[in-house]
Structure 1
């Protein structure tokens, strides 16, 4: 019996040590591992809209732009806790991000997962594309679809009642596996896209007019979990 327990314990430790580890993408102290792309900062003394405050990553909202991971990722689960601490507004998480300033000289090529108040979980196509079920109902007339300026790039989520009231923390999970994206908000699946035109890239957070606090931005590799 003791021999069995010893073998079981050793096996459990070995399996645990091989399991993918969750990684926090910010350290609560500085912006190490990220870089800023804010056009207004190119030629002026505009403030950096991304700061660390009380151990949280904060998007001040203005000037508009993005904070982008230095590293690229594929096959991952992104676990985020965020809130609009004051006024409700707009923000987003961009996955599969690549070429900077590809849209409106501001947005990197990517798929955006919307965080805008009462619209969390919408997809926005930013010079990349993705499909969902019921595309015409959720994106509009097919002849108007597109991935560049002036086109219908928004794909509505499945529910707009999954968010918490302003000031409370929301929990968003974004799972990117190959060219498929699934999104949950506070436990509800709010979007599921597939046949995306990218399956690897950087991760970006927006400054888009409203202050947003992030107390968790964690990444778990999931490729090994599907083998």
Structure 2
């Protein structure tokens, strides 16, 4: 009997180790202190070194001041992950976005990188905006407009409406957005409510970017968990 128990432990132990080892630990992309792990791309800074950086760390929070416009881009390239972002418009509500699958810089208006934007704009959180990449959703024509006008460049219908605009908390309160990128699919939750889901995305990996797009936004968490 004792020998059987020992053999059972020996057999199970590697399995337990394997299961534990395969679980991905969350990775904090923002360390709460500085912008280590990120790079900025602000077109106005190209020829004027005095242009201020719109991305700062204040009271342990990553803050997008909104202007000058541009992107804060992760050093790392990611695929198959779940990204959790906690954010708020602390003052006047406005516009901002999280860009997933970021690749080539300045493909749109000579500012925004090629990517798929998940909107943070107040009362529109979870909309998709196609920036050089594309995606499909159910009821596409209802949510994007006439098919012949779809596109991923300026002048085309790039916005894909979310499923609900009632998931955000009042201005000044913190919101939690979860973006799950798995293969060519993207799902978005706002405060635990599924607000968008797309498939057949034209990109499956890339950097992660935060926008400076006219409004001040605070981020207290930017955490990524790999999906294996």
User: In structure 1, how many angstroms separate the alpha carbons of the residues matched to 2:88 and 2:208?
Assistant: 19
Max radius of gyration: which structure?
Answer: 2
Query: Equivalent residue for 1:177?
Result: 182
CA RMSD of superposed structures (Å): 1.7
Match of 1:26 among 30, 50, 55: 30
Distance 2:21 2:9 in 1: 17
Matches within 5 A, 1:142-161: 142-161=147-166
CA distance, structure 1, for counterparts of residue 150 and residue 67 of structure 2: 29
Shift of 1:13: 5.4
| SS, match of residue 137 in structure 1 | helix
Deviation at 1:9, TM superposition (A): 7.7
C-alpha displacement of 1:15: 2.8
**1:212 maps to which residue?**
217
Q: Is 1:90 equivalent to 2:90 in the alignment?
A: no
3-state SS, counterpart of residue 181 of structure 1: strand
Q: Aligned-pair distance for 1:108? A: 0.3
2:19 is matched with which residue? Answer: 15
- Separation of aligned partners in 1, 2:14 and 2:103: 42
* Residues matched between the structures, number: 223
The reply on whether 1:38 has 2:42 as its aligned counterpart is: yes
> What are the ranges of 5 or more consecutive residues in structure 2 without an aligned counterpart?
none
Alpha-carbon shift at residue 56 of structure 1 (Å): 1.1
Aligned pairs for 1:101-112 within 5 A:
101-112=106-117
Deviation at 1:11, TM superposition (A): 5.5
Counting only pairs closer than 5 Å after superposition, residues 68-147 of structure 1 correspond to structure 2 as: 68-147=73-152
Q: Which SS does the other structure have where 1:78 is aligned?
A: strand
Distance 2:201 2:58 in 1: 35
Q: Which runs of 5+ in 1 are unaligned?
A: none
2:14 and 2:150 map into 1 onto residues whose CA distance is 55
* 1:195 aligns with one of 192, 200, 203: 200
CA apart distance, 1:153: 0.3
Moved over 6 A (4+): 4-10
Compute the displacement of 1:17 (Å).
3.5
Listed as ranges, the matches of 1:44-55 within 5 Å are: 44=48, 45-55=50-60
CA distance in 1, matches of 2:120, 2:105: 20
Aligned counterparts of 1:105 and 1:152: Cα–Cα separation in 2: 19
